[in-house]
Amino acid sequence: MEKHNFSAGPCILPHEVFLEASQSILNFNDSGLSILEISHRSKDFVDVMEEARNLALELLGLEGKGYKALFLQGGASMEFLMVAYNLLEKKAAYLNTGTWSDKAIKEAKLFGDVIEVASSKEANFSYIPKGYTVPEDVDYFHCTSNNTIFGTQMKSFPATDVPVVCDMSSDIFSRQMDFSTFDLIYAGAQKNMGPAGTTLVVVKEDILGKVSRKIPSMMDYKIHIGKGSMFNTPAVFPVYVSMLTLRWLKEKGGIEAIEKENEKKATLVYSEVDLNPLFKGFAANEDRSMMNATFTLENGDLKETFDEMWKEAGIVGLNGHRSVGGYRASMYNALSMESVGTLVDVMSELERKA
Ligand code: PMP
């Protein structure tokens, strides 16, 4: 039976990518070798790394604008500390919009003062704070564009002269933005880009080299840039699959095209959440995420029936995170409209039955 994968991450990737990646496990580029056994220094892999780095910049519209793309390891969680290691001299400003921002703040505090410009913690992060100001004397401002757990998404970003750092782990390559307003973007691959195991970092080179502390080589963005993202053995297979996914996205028409699909999918799910009296959205309406829709059942007694119904329909990964409860429909780039239709049908079927 066909599965409809609504998992929050690792999550669905394009089927075409799985087909090509599985072929390359057996015989990569007709070399008679598996992608899993070739040297990361071989021309075949160096080409993959370069294509992945170039595609990331191209799709974000950042080519020729002083940015470099890196594929690092350690997940987005490693970037929480690498960002501070490389950029935090005295103090930094952070917007606290959820568990992941909270964790980023905790790491940054090891390196300097952290000013929390605003937080929605008191409301279990159900909205994005607004109306705050970013101090002018900080080394950088850090925010999380999409809050995977709570289903909120930043629709606008503060105008500031300080460098802007953004964790885009769960909405990178999903919507159009002027990415040149950010100085450093990072994202774990395992949502819209590829399998777990690599993290994309896109950094404007001129913000680096300004802190006085010594930085260990593996933590130093400048060293990774100097080595073409090959300072040590990169995550060969995750980088390869990310490259295939970025190629897939480019062929589909890039972010502009996928954004239209993502808008349609999100509209369908949220319309059902709003029109169906059995469900209630978790996130504030104006801050709703296009990637992760969080909602609960108004009547907990229906949980067993609903859970049985969606599982029977082939839906997987719909359970909400423990800190929100209820349900979370993650609608990443590769999720089809048909899968979203299946979920909405099950939700309306529950209304008819109840
Ligand atoms: N930031 C966000 C927005 C996330 O959703 C996650 C979890 N996927 C992380 C950071 C942590 O990522 P990782 O597990 O790659 O360290």
Catalytic residue among 68, 100, 220, 310: 100
What tokens does 12 get? 């669905």
Per-domain residue ranges of the chain = 15-251, 254-353
What is d(CA 39, CA 266) in angstroms, rounded to the nearest whole number? 42
What tokens does 188 get? 């774990």
Distance spanning both ends of the chain, measured CA to CA: 26
What is d(CA 330, CA 317) in angstroms, rounded to the nearest whole number? 8
Q: Point out the annotated binding site.
A: 41, 76-77, 100, 148, 167, 190, 232-233
Could you give the strand order of the β-sheet that contains 184-188, starting from the edge strand earlier in sequence?
67-72, 199-204, 184-188, 164-167, 141-144, 91-96, 113-119
Per-residue pLDDT of the chain (354 residues; tens, 9 = 90+): 889 999 999 999 999 999 999 999 999 999 999 999 999 999 999 999 999 999 999 999 999 999 999 999 999 999 999 999 999 999 999 999 999 999 999 999 999 999 999 999 999 999 999 999 999 999 999 999 999 999 999 999 999 999 999 999 999 999 999 999 999 999 999 999 999 999 999 999 999 999 999 999 999 999 999 999 999 999 999 999 999 999 999 999 999 999 999 999 999 999 999 999 999 999 999 999 999 999 999 999 999 999 999 999 999 999 999 999 999 999 999 999 999 999 999 999 999 998
What tokens does 99 get? 């568990």
- The DSSP 8-state label assigned to residue 327 in this structure reads E
What tokens does 121 get? 């913690």
Q: Point out the annotated binding site for pyridoxal 5'-phosphate.
A: 76-77, 100, 148, 167, 190, 232-233
Q: What is the pLDDT of residue 175?
A: 98
Q: Residue whose CA is closest, atom 15 of ligand 1?
A: 75
42 CA to centre of ligand 1 in angstroms: 31
Domain at 254-353: CATH code = 3.90.1150.10
Compute CA 143 distance to the chain's CA centroid, rounded to the nearest angstrom: 13
Q: Do residues 142 and 119 touch, judged by C-beta distance below 8 A?
A: no
156 CA to centre of ligand 1 in angstroms: 21
What tokens does 157 get? 């970003």
Q: What is the pLDDT of residue 2?
A: 87
* Residue 167 annotated as catalytic: yes
Question: Which atom in ligand 1 lies closest to the alpha carbon of residue 80?
Answer: 10
What is d(CA 262, CA 241) in angstroms, rounded to the nearest whole number? 21
Q: Residue whose CA is closest, atom 8 of ligand 1?
A: 9
What is d(CA 177, CA 182) in angstroms, rounded to the nearest whole number? 10
Query: pTM for this structure?
Result: 0.98
Q: Where are the beta strands (DSSP E) in 23-73?
A: 67-72
Catalytic residue among 68, 139, 167, 171: 167
325 exposed, middle or buried (CB, 10 Å; 0-12, 13-18, 19+)?
Answer: middle
* Residue 100 annotated as catalytic: yes
From 100, 146, 199, the mutation candidate for ligand 1 (largest count of ligand atoms within 8 A of CB) is: 100
189 CA to centre of ligand 1 in angstroms: 9
Q: Is the minimum distance from the CB of 245 to ligand 1 under 6 angstroms?
A: no
Q: What is the pLDDT of residue 102?
A: 97
Q: Residue whose CA is closest, atom 14 of ligand 1?
A: 75
Q: What is the largest CA-CA distance in the chain?
A: 65
- Asked whether this chain's domains 15-251 and 254-353 adopt the same fold, the reply is no
Domain at 15-251: CATH code = 3.40.640.10
Q: What is the pLDDT of residue 1?
A: 80
Could you give the strand order of the β-sheet that contains 292-297, starting from the edge strand earlier in sequence?
279-281, 292-297, 327-330
- What ipTM score was computed for the predicted complex, to two decimals? 0.99
Q: Is the minimum distance from the CB of 77 to ligand 1 under 6 angstroms?
A: yes
Q: Which of 273, 313, 330, 275 is nearest to 296 (CA)?
A: 273
* Residue 204 annotated as catalytic: no
